[in-house]
Structure formats: C-alpha cells, structure tokens
Amino acid sequence: MKFLIAGAGAIGAYIGARMANAGFDVTLFARGPHLRAMQGHGVQVKSPEGDFVAHPAIAGSLEEIGPMDVVFLGVKAHGLPQLTPQLKPVIGPDTTVVSTQNGIPWWYFQGFGGEWEGLRLERVDPGGVISAAIPAKQVIGSIVYFSTEIPSPGVIQHIEGNRISLGEPDGSRSDRCRRIAEALIASGLRCPVTTRLRHEIWVKVLGNASLNPVSALTRATLVQMVRDPGVASVIRSIMEEVEAVSHKLGMELPVSIDQRMAGAEKVGEHKTSMLQDLEAGRPMELEALVGAVVELGERVGLPMTCTRTVYNCTKLLSQCAASRQPM
C-alpha cells in the first residue's frame, strides 16, 4: 500500500516516520521550513523509547504525488477547510482517507441514521467544503492517544503514548481498517480497531471541551486545574453538559465524569494542546473541540450555559492573541 501523510505536523510526521522506519511506502506532505528540513535531513524523532531518523519521501506539492491507497489527514481540524479542496490529485475512487483530528469530526453524522443523518456542523465544516472534497464512503475515523510536538523544523519530539484507535463510521470491522491497523502495528504503534468509535470520540470530547479551553484561560496544567476546587467545579459543569448532549444523540459513555477527572489528574503537570498552541502563537482548535459541542447543544435543545460561557471567553482570547501576532 502507498501511504500519504497530508499535513506532516507533529502527529502526522511521527506516524509517517514510524511507518517509513518500518519499511512502508509513505510520503509526507509539508510546507515551509519543516518541509525543507525534512528534505535535507529526514525526520528526526526524539523519543523516550529511543531516537531515530527516518527518510520517507517528502513532497511540497500534492500535484506531484498522484493517487494513494491511504491518506492520513495530519493537520488540525481548523486546517481541513483549506487542505481538503487540494486533495483531488491524491484521492482516487479506492483511496481510504483516515481522519486524525480531535473533537467532533466533519463526518460524524454521515451514516449516523435517524433524524440526525447527514447533519453538517458549520463550526467544523464551514460551507460544507470538507464533505464536498472527501466522499463519505472513503472515510475511516481514528482517535490519537499520543503526544508529540515540533521543537524545531524537521524534529519530532515524542512525549508519551503510542495508541491510535481506528474505526469505521458504521461500526463494522472492515478489511481496510484491518490492513491499515496491521501496518501501524508493524510500525511500532498500538492500533486497536473499534466498533464503537463514536462512543470513544465522546469520551475524548468530554475532556477536550472542558480541560482545553479552561487551561487556555488559566494557563494551568491538568493537575493544577482538577485540584483547584473552583476551577474543578467549572470543568465538571462543562463535562455534565457535554455528557447530556451525547445522551441526546443516543451515546452512553463508558467512563464517568469522576473517572475522567481522575484520569486528568493522573497525567500530572501536562499542558493541554490548546494551551501549547496559545503559548506558541498558533491558532487553537476551539471550534472542533468546543464550538461544535455548543452548536450540537443548540440543535438538541440544551442551553449549554457553562460550556458556552467558557467558549465565548476563549474565542475572544484567541482573537486578541491573533491580533497581537506580527504581520
């Protein structure tokens, strides 16, 4: 199989480097200094499990690549509206597209059934540009459970974790999921195939929609937030509202709010991805992680009082931070 990492940032380049190191035919698509550094020196991975340098094919243009068997979407959710219309040269009729984004994915209600079938969330897929570019039947979902960052162009720092769950939106166990999972496992990653991907998404959203924006507002680590009584109360209220939305959609979460809070505390002095983006001057994943949940709350008739308040404050924070960035 021929694999493409479309958007070889911290997550995508790590997956691609692992696969290239295991001998798979993988191409990384990137731009700017990161592209040039990887072209010149390969992908340098720094990891507690051992450092290595991988040499996958590196491309700065999708036009030069051609149709691929599997395309991993490696950009963050807010980068998809810009990326996906450019993917036409690499997506053939049999190409499988793997989403790796946090939050509520654009494909969530495709094949969902019932009254919510085909619902498009404007905050995730503005104007329908993503769903227009990627046929629903070619999408596989994934949930990434590892942490990576780019300390300098061409260098990937693997912090912790190695699991990525795969799943068909319809809950089936497909051959294409199995084949991709086998390739990822052979590359040194843990890759279970789940039939309950939408339930897993909500477990992660439970933390992402609460811990991420509150961390951006407070600049606090996970353990600092959950051990502060006042802040922990806000986080718990958001989790309760998120859980209520999931129940309205027929989802029963396999973990409790107490378990989710305890899990966050166990991670310790860790900064959320949203706080890391804020401190680095990058756009935050606000709409996919929080805005989409607020939008869904409106759809199902829930007020989302606490979530909406934190969302609005974080959105203004994001706008103020963007206005201070040098042009």
Q: Which residue has the tokens 């039947």?
A: 137
Does residue 61 share a domain with residue 154? Answer: yes
Give per-residue pLDDT as tens, 249-300: 999 898 999 999 999 998 888 889 899 899 989 999 999 999 999 999 999 9
pLDDT reported for residue 160: 86
pLDDT reported for residue 325: 66
Mean pLDDT of the chain: 95
pLDDT reported for residue 310: 98
Does residue 186 share a domain with residue 243? Answer: no
pLDDT at 71 over 70: yes
Are 90 and 263 in contact by the 8 Å Cβ rule? The answer is: no
Does residue 283 share a domain with residue 157? Answer: no
Edge-to-edge strand order for the sheet containing 68-73? Answer: 52-54, 43-46, 155-167, 139-152, 91-99, 68-73, 2-6, 25-29, 57-59
pLDDT at 9 over 50: yes
Give per-residue pLDDT as tens, 93-127: 999 999 999 999 999 999 898 999 999 999 999 99
For the segment 4-20, the average pLDDT, to the nearest whole number, is 96
pLDDT reported for residue 270: 85
Does residue 228 share a domain with residue 143? Answer: no
Does residue 168 share a domain with residue 256? Answer: no
Rg of the chain in Å (alpha carbons): 19
pLDDT reported for residue 183: 98
Catalytic residue among 204, 248, 266, 271: 204
Q: How many structural domains compose the chain?
A: 2
| C-alpha span between 111 and 155 (Å, rounded) | 39
pLDDT at 54 over 50: yes
Q: What are phi and psi of 141, to 5 degrees?
A: -95, 155
Per-residue confidence band for 327, with pLDDT thresholds at 50, 70 and 90: very low
Does residue 189 share a domain with residue 271? Answer: no
Note the pTM of the prediction, 2 decimals: 0.93
CATH code for the domain of 212: 1.10.1040.10
Does residue 134 share a domain with residue 6? Answer: yes
Per-residue confidence band for 24, with pLDDT thresholds at 50, 70 and 90: very high
The residue among 327 and 66 whose pLDDT is bigger is 66
Which of 75-79, 168-172, 237-241 ranks highest by mean pLDDT?
237-241
Does residue 172 belong to any structural domain of this protein? yes
Give per-residue pLDDT as tens, 238-247: 999 999 999 9
Domain boundary among 195, 226, 246: 195
The range of the structural domain enclosing residue 66 comes to 2-195
CATH code for the domain of 135: 3.40.50.720
Q: Is 271 a catalytic residue?
A: no
Domain boundary among 140, 163, 195: 195
Does residue 168 share a domain with residue 205? Answer: no
pLDDT at 224 over 70: yes
pLDDT reported for residue 202: 95
For the segment 161-174, the average pLDDT, to the nearest whole number, is 93
pLDDT reported for residue 324: 78
